[in-house]
A and B are shown apart, each in its own frame.
Chain A
């Protein structure tokens, strides 16, 4: 599968997801996770690192794609946006783990690798440990809205917060989780 065939589909999913379509959002992240897995495995393989690290990076990239989705301009192609995030996360990973950026071959977005069908391994991260490191309010809102599936207004009523505070708290929490994942690695 190549970019020419996936780009229109992924872009349509992304645009629906930005409009708040939950099913499109999930489908998009699922599709991207297999593409990203292929990308990171391929690149890590070249610097002698394994599939667990690749899964860490897949998850970090997914969180980044989710929390930074407002930076996608829907008038632009989608694949270069995803690719730039993946590459940024990979370069950042190499920098933290003292690899060299020169190990990363130069390529362009036409070369996003095909999806990897092999079964995903678990990352080295423990969701519960990550959650435990978050401030209590943030943890509660993420637990309620993102894990237990309460609506934002239900969570707001339960914790006596305003709806916008619940949203801000979740957004901060997800970003903090991405940061914890990075720190976990280094």
Chain B
């Protein structure tokens, strides 16, 4: 085939392109994925029971703030990663710093308490549920995100996959926070932090296969 033939074909009846469509798709996938994770939580472990219900303390706010920072920085990054030739270095710093801040806060909280309390603070009452649920709740948001990202043109598939995993993991963690009966900084730093990071790693592994175009 001659390239001229192809150009002829591509430039016959060219449709105008609406701008902003990509951003809308991305936001739609986030909302659908987030809702899916939330309903998955309701259908499995359910809302936190007991005094105060799911909105129990400042720890709930802390969990949500930590995750919402990751979700917003991650989404802003994804919006750049699906446009060839763009990068967002500052956003990686935001993500790194929020992990670091929560990690340090966890260590400080431990330092203020006697070592006998550490076991309860770190392991909480349901760390195994947390470890299981965050990745589980992240599956559907990850799927919707990948679907949305495939409408863009990611050129760094591993990195795009990793950030998609991070955002999906954070959405899963938000859903889990509505159940999570454990209120301690080290618990959030360790289990929330590690599980979201794990989701990012899995995303990085799957990215090249799922996002290729």
A: residues with CB less than 8 A from B are: 17-22, 25-26, 29-30, 33, 37, 55, 58-59, 62-64, 66, 68-74, 76-77, 80-85, 87-88, 92, 109, 120, 122-123, 125-127, 130, 142, 145-147, 149-152, 167, 174-175, 178
Contacts and interface: CB of A to CB of B under 8 A. Distances in A.
A171 B14 CA distance: 11
A71 B1 contact: no
B155 A88 contact: yes
Nearest to A109: B85
Given A26-B11, A174-B10, A81 B3 contact: no
Chain A contact residues: helix, strand, loop or mixed: helix
Contacts of B64: none
B11 A62 contact: no
B14 A17 contact: yes
Interface string B73-112: 0000000001111100000000000000000000000000
A29 B7 contact: yes
20 contacts: A20-B16, A25-B14, A26-B8, A29-B10, A30-B7, A62-B10, A63-B6, A68-B152, A68-B213, A70-B21, A81-B85, A120-B3, A122-B1, A122-B2, A123-B2, A130-B1, A145-B12, A145-B13, A146-B9, A149-B13
B17 interface: yes
Interface of B: 1-19, 21-22, 82-86, 152-153, 155, 212-213
A73 B86 contact: yes
Contact of B17 (A18, A64, A82): A18
Given A22-B14, A33-B3, A72-B83, 15 more contacts: A20-B14, A30-B7, A58-B3, A64-B153, A68-B152, A71-B83, A83-B85, A84-B84, A84-B155, A85-B84, A109-B85, A120-B2, A130-B1, A146-B13, A174-B10
